[in-house]
Structure 1
């Protein structure tokens, strides 16, 4: 005999009515607020926009448009369909929508918030390359109302679901914070050991230019205009990594790519030197270097990602690390065995801190997936025949 899941036990056999959001909430949009307006009217009341960082807050002003409990969502752009629970005094911009529950004796705000976090993304329209979730799409979303003929019991069921999901959310956030703190500590530890291992005093080791240590294969790389690329499974690399996948390849083997141009040369948001393997295509935005051994290639990769390359970069408006300057970079060149030792240590740190398949980043991802699994299980209401037909 099949065991009842927690939601079934919670419902105790009562029915679930599915209602369109247009019958449950009123919808409206925010207003245009420029950066100048935000800076000229600084205050204590938050302004929320389409971003997801910082809970969507882009600033704070001295007035507010809304006061109370609401659900907001992002209407336009890459984050379209992102749902937020709002409470208090605040304002939203024109790329946000806002929901106000019509009858709070029928529907719980946090319950609606959790339901929409699983449902809203399914209704995002991505036509013309600009994802959107506008009011006319939102109002069609259906919401399960348990025991709708008994509002008091319905709210009690919704409140219990909210209680469980709030607890899951808090626990997941706490665990993620702990893991993130651990990851940050490991990264600092990694940077410390990397800098220690790659610091050499003048005279301790021989120094050579990068041009002496590696074979430059820039002449073989070739850009392909995006509209002319034939889709395939071969990685197509640019200055900061994979740009596309194509059908053919230029290189086959292990190489070190170094960003030739782009703002990332100065910002260093991602490594400017990275290894590639197998069949690949490389455009003209990354240098291609070949080394005799794995240890030599990885040693140079770690070294280039640890030093300040500003003296070798030209062009303030369009930063560029040209071939001549790249090959003139001085690299400490210890004995092969010492390079192997350094690389072996740094590879272990790198695997723990950077790989999404291993170590702490993977653990953080698993925690989030675990939360989403239990959230979806708790919100898996039985669908009525009329709902399925709709």
Structure 2
């Protein structure tokens, strides 16, 4: 911070200029044909990654002909709740859906505003709060495009911007290193899990439908509320919130369609709400629910690959669950395996211990310094 202060004293002794976003940037004015896009270049809210400043490959391609094009250096914002916190500093070119805004620095402002600095400004909690306050719509609020352009941003000297970007990049790089280590631990855990669950012909085969109740929810993603009282399981890894609940039980949750099919599973305990295209699997009392959870996580994707006539499964139906075969050892053996896997699972997924806790702490530290570094005394007119 002292170096930043020195730079401010040298280059902005009278304070930092603040201006509306519209004075230095605007929305993408170029268009791209959907036929020119693929899963690596199309960006929708589903494949923007919250709090990571990145994106993953799209599961669905656009169904409109012309889309807003984005360029390297553009800042892409999720523009529909609950995705308003998703932000990406584009490192490639492509097109984005109407639920994503592509913000581009004006040509005449590029000598005074660093695009990565603007990315950090627009990924701050301050901007998110402002965006939420001005969002329009009751059921599925969207960011107000006009209000976003009125948002006042600091424009310190480029020397200050670049130093702030350097510092914040170091935080994100450290977090990325920790996440890479965590991914390695997860692969190790997955190998151990597969070894433990390699039961083969040693146990009788049963169908999932014989040992569990299977059904879906009734809600849509648009029902989500940012501060809802109860967990709302949709179709992805991200848990949403809702002010009402559908079930009060121990259940395994998985996506019925989308990118999470056969890959994303949650274990619900207590009261929760459920998406209309997500499935709840409630094991009977005669089996260990955690054993069934670990078994599905390890094996269900393989089952889908073998039973589907398509190269990839895009949606699931209830009969696919009912006829899923499980090698079921004795209840005592189920408890033993589940207990061992729960210990490993906690090491890679429990946010209160180990690497997950360290990553969470680093993120809080990053958010604190980001907001502090982006706060400047405004220059008087």
TM superposition score normalised by structure 2: 0.66
**Do the aligned residues in 2 keep the contact of 1:30 with 1:97 (CA within 8 Å)?**
no
- 1:321 corresponds in structure 2 to 318
- 1:181 corresponds in structure 2 to 180
How many matched pairs?
342
Deviation at 1:6, TM superposition (A): 6.2
**Do the aligned residues in 2 keep the contact of 1:82 with 1:121 (CA within 8 Å)?**
no
C-alpha separation in 1, matches of 2:94 and 2:314: 36
1:1-390 → structure 2 map (5 Å cutoff): 8=5, 10-12=7-9, 14-21=13-20, 25=24, 27=26, 29-37=28-36, 52=48, 72=75, 74=77, 76-77=79-80, 78=83, 82=87, 84=89, 95-100=101-106, 102=108, 111-112=117-118, 114-118=120-124, 120-124=127-131, 125-128=134-137, 129=140, 131-132=142-143, 134=145, 136-144=146-154, 155=157, 158-160=158-160, 162-169=162-169, 171-202=170-201, 204-210=202-208, 214=211, 216-217=212-213, 233=229, 245=242, 251=248, 253=249, 255-257=250-252, 259=254, 262-263=256-257, 267-271=261-265, 274-279=266-271, 285-292=279-286, 296-307=288-299, 308-310=302-304, 319-322=316-319, 326=321, 328-383=323-378
C-alpha separation in 2, matches of 1:91 and 1:201: 47
**Do the aligned residues in 2 keep the contact of 1:257 with 1:275 (CA within 8 Å)?**
yes
Deviation at 1:236, TM superposition (A): 6.3
Deviation at 1:352, TM superposition (A): 1.7
Unaligned runs of 5+ in 1: 40-45, 60-64, 147-154
Cα 1:10–1:159 shift into 2, 3 Å = closer
Cα 1:160–1:106 shift into 2, 3 Å = closer
C-alpha separation in 1, matches of 2:194 and 2:273: 32
Cα 1:342–1:5 shift into 2, 3 Å = same
**Do the aligned residues in 1 keep the contact of 2:77 with 2:84 (CA within 8 Å)?**
yes
Cα 1:121–1:347 shift into 2, 3 Å = same
Q: Deviations over 1:286-318 (max 9, x none)?
A: 34222247xx22112211222233367899785
TM superposition score normalised by structure 1: 0.65
Question: What RMSD in Å do the two structures reach over aligned CA positions?
Answer: 5.0
